[in-house]
Amino acid sequence: MTNIELITWSGILGILAGVVIVMLVIFPILKKRGVNIENMLDQTKKAVDSSGEILNVIKTTMPNNNVVNILQIVQKWAQIAVGDAEQLYHAGNISKEDRAKVAESVVLNVLKELNIEVDESKKHLIDAAIENAVNELGHSNVKKIAPEK
């Protein structure tokens, strides 16, 4: 892995860790103090929704970066996988609880076909992409389809 790829992965994992800390620690503290966090969450949702645009900008500035290419593949296939899992659920082919496993399986199979090794950090990114795709479907509760931890 090159230095640029390592820096990119480190940055992405750092952002992901920061988001988790905010959601699990800071938001509950703010809520106990009476702070209205709904407005902050709405703005966060807008930022997450623009993640595809951000990836496109990064891709144009760093066109041959493998990490960015992998992120785009994961994002694209997470959306396809969530849609597929949702259709299978509505058709009665899978249960509500199986949607997350099916969506994750689709993304993992695509990466395997592309000979992209999936490590723990990529699994976290896959989970985040799936959660984002679920949010784009309009589900208010991500846990309905997001992989259980």
**What tokens appear for 66 in the block?**
């493998």
Range 34-41 average pLDDT:
70
CA distance 43 to 125: 21
Range 16-44 average pLDDT:
72
CA distance 112 to 6: 21
The 10s digit of each residue's pLDDT in 76-130 is 889 888 988 888 888 888 888 898 899 999 999 998 888 888 888 888 888 888 8
DSSP 103-138: HHHHHHHHHHHTT----HHHHHHHHHHHHHHHHHHT
To which residue do tokens 């103090």 refer?
Answer: 33
Give the per-residue pLDDT at 51. Answer: 58
